Structure 1
Amino acid sequence: MSLVDRLNSDMKQAMKARDKVRLSVIRMIKTALQNESIKKMKELSEDEVLAVLSRELKQRKDSLQEFENAGRQDLVEEVSNEIAIVQTYMPEQLSEEDIKSIIDETISEVGAGSKADIGKIMKVIMPKLKGRADGSLVNRLVRSKLS
């Protein structure tokens, strides 16, 4: 079952269950996917759908950080619930150990040895980890390996 089919099915279930939060998040995801499809003027591939989901998740995580800094606990809870719903549609996240091993492989593949090579490594490693690891975590781990 494709992700879009799963979203449609889950939207119907959320309507029947009168789960307003889940329904709202699913509609936001579907709208983002539709907007991206219109922008590209074609059906989205699974990778493109994953990129849109990652972007939506990142936006919510950024909002969560801002709300925490502002002390808005009511909004923190709301956005935390939205993050949990979006994450159910993301692929299984890799553990930090798995990410470190992929980083080691990529460093040897690229032949990197200093912090000046971080850009080269990130350019090669992010397509490998697409949707399965947070970019900021990967960047932090790469920096620690090269220091």
Structure 2
Amino acid sequence: MSLKERINEEMKAAMRNGETAKRDAIRLLNAAIKQQEVDGRVTLGDADIVAVIEKMLKQRRDSISQYEAAGRQELADAEKFEVQVLSQYMPARMSAEAIAVAVQAAVVEMGASRASDMGKVMAVLKPQLAGKADMGEVSRQVKAALSGAGV
């Protein structure tokens, strides 16, 4: 079953079970997916849908911090619920050790030896790790690996 089919099935289940908040969160996801498909005139695959979900999660996390700073806990709680629903569709996260192994393999593959090679290494890692790892953590590990290699 594709990710898109799974999302649609879970929306139907939420509708049958009367879970309005979950249904609404999934509808927002479906709308974002359809918007991407219409804009690009393509049918999105699982990897593209994961990218849409990542973008939505980032937006929700930003909103949560802003709502909490403004003292609007009820809005922050609604966003937290949407994060919880959207996170169900993300692939399993890689451990820090697994990220380190991938970073070292990419550094060796690219023959990277200094900080200026970071872009090349990240270009190799991004398609491999998108959706599976926090790219901020990947970037930190690449920077650490290259600064250690360049000394």
Question: TM-score under structure 1 normalisation?
Answer: 0.90
| 1:132 correspondence with 2:132 | yes
State the alpha-carbon separation in 2 of the partners of residues 139 and 24 from structure 1.
34
Over 3 Å counting, the alpha-carbon distance change for 1:98 and 1:71 in structure 2 is farther
Percent identity, aligned pairs only, is 35
| 1:65 correspondence with 2:49 | no
- Output the aligned Cα RMSD: 1.6
Residue 63 of structure 1 deviates from its aligned partner by: 2.0
Over 3 Å counting, the alpha-carbon distance change for 1:64 and 1:144 in structure 2 is farther
Cα deviations by residue, 1:102-140 (Å, 9 ceiling, x for unpaired): 001111111112222211111110101021112222112
| 1:6 correspondence with 2:6 | yes
Aligned to 1:22: 22
Aligned to 2:144: 144
Greater mean deviation of Cα atoms: 108-117 or 65-74: 65-74
Question: TM-score under structure 2 normalisation?
Answer: 0.88
Aligned to 1:117: 117
Over 3 Å counting, the alpha-carbon distance change for 1:58 and 1:13 in structure 2 is same
Matched ranges for 1:37-76 at <5 A? 37-76=37-76
State the alpha-carbon separation in 2 of the partners of residues 71 and 140 from structure 1.
32
State the alpha-carbon separation in 2 of the partners of residues 93 and 74 from structure 1.
29
**Matched residue type, 1:98:** A
Segments of 5+ residues of structure 2 without an aligned counterpart are: none
Aligned to 1:99: 99
Aligned to 1:32: 32
Residue 71 of structure 1 deviates from its aligned partner by: 4.1
Residue 83 of structure 1 deviates from its aligned partner by: 1.0
**Matched residue type, 2:144:** S
Over 3 Å counting, the alpha-carbon distance change for 1:71 and 1:146 in structure 2 is farther
Over 3 Å counting, the alpha-carbon distance change for 1:105 and 1:33 in structure 2 is same
Q: How many correspondences in the alignment?
A: 147
Over 3 Å counting, the alpha-carbon distance change for 1:63 and 1:128 in structure 2 is same
